[in-house]
Amino acid sequence: MAPVRRDTRGIVDATELFAHVDFRRVEPAEPLRRYVEQYWLIDWNLSEPYVSHVVPHPAVNIVFQRFPDQEPFAEVSGVQHGLFAQKLEGRGRVCGVKFRPGGFRPFAPERAVTEWTGQRIRQPEVYADTDPATILAPDDDAARAAALDAFLLTLGPHPDPQADLAMTLVDRIRTDRTIRRVADFARAEGVSVRLLQRLFAAYVGVGPKWVILRYRIHEALERAETDKAVDWAALAADLGYADQAHLVRDFTTTVGVPPTAYAQAVH
C-alpha cells in the first residue's frame, strides 16, 4: 500500500493552516496499514479563532477531539460532499484516523459506508466503550499512535475481499489520470457500471464519478498552491476536462472561489 502522504492535497491554503496549528501525520501499526492511510495529529494554542477548510477526500475518518470547555469526544466523520470547515480557538487537540477509501467497512461491517456519508456522528454505539481521553492524553506522538493502534485492533478488522477490491479501484483512480469516464473504467475492469456503483456505495460511500471529479479538484488545488503561473487551460486538458470552463466551474463549486482568484490569494 502507498506510504503516508506528505502532500497537502485537499487542504485549502495549507500554508495558513500550518501557521496556526501543529499538524503531523503518523503511520499506523503494520497490521492496520492495508486499511488505514495515516493518523493525523493536530495541536493548537490560539489567541484568536481560526477556521480551517478542507476539500475532503473520499475517506471516512474517526476523530478524537478536545476543544476548550468541552469534554473529549470521538466522532465518525463519513465522506463529506462539500467544503469542510472547522473553527479552532483557544487550546485544543485532535487525533484522527484516516481510512483508505474502502478501508473503513472492515471495522464497521454492519452498515454500508454510504450510510455514514455526509454524517458526523459523535460517540456512535460501536465505540461507546472507548474513553476519548485515553487517546488524547499522551503528549508524545508515538504514544498517541499506539493508543490509536490498540483502539482499532480491538475492533477488527474483519477481512473482506470486496473491501480490498474497492481500495484497489479507488487507488487506481487516484494514480491514473487516464481514468476519466466511469463507463470506460468499468469496461476496463470487466464489470458493469451498476456493479461498480453498488461496490462504491457499500464500501467507499460515494460513487466512482464523484471520486474521479474529487481527485481532479485536489490536483488543481495543489497546483494553485504551488505554481504561481498555472496554465489553467493546459491543466484542464491534462485532468480530462472538456475545456477550462468546466474545470473553473467544478473548482468554484467545490472551493467557493474561482481557481485564478484562489491562486492569487494564496500567493
The domain defined by 161-266 folds into: Arc Repressor Mutant, subunit A (1.10.10)
How far is it, in rounded angstroms, from Cα 163 to Cα 1? 14
Question: What's domain 14-155's architecture?
Answer: Sandwich (2.60)
pLDDT at 125: 67
Q: Output the tens digit of pLDDT for each of the chain's 267 residues.
A: 555 666 788 888 888 999 999 999 999 999 999 999 999 999 999 999 999 999 999 999 999 999 998 999 999 999 999 889 999 999 999 999 999 999 999 999 999 999 999 999 987 766 667 889 999 999 999 999 999 999 999 988 989 999 999 999 999 999 888 898 999 999 999 999 999 999 999 999 999 999 999 999 998 888 888 887 888 999 898 888 888 999 999 999 988 888 888 888 877
pLDDT at 1: 56
Cell of 140: 508524545
How far is it, in rounded angstroms, from Cα 144 to Cα 154? 16
What letter does residue 174 receive in the DSSP assignment?
A: H
pLDDT at 126: 62
How far is it, in rounded angstroms, from Cα 238 to Cα 41? 33
Domain boundaries defined on the chain? 14-155, 161-266
How far is it, in rounded angstroms, from Cα 137 to Cα 211? 35
* Listed residue (62, 207, 221) closest to 135, CA to CA: 62
pLDDT at 3: 58
pLDDT at 51: 95
Query: DSSP string spanning 188-254?
Result: HHTS-HHHHHHHHHHHTSS-HHHHHHHHHHHHHHHHHHH-TT--HHHHHHHTT-SSHHHHHHHHHHH
What letter does residue 27 receive in the DSSP assignment?
A: P
pLDDT at 21: 96
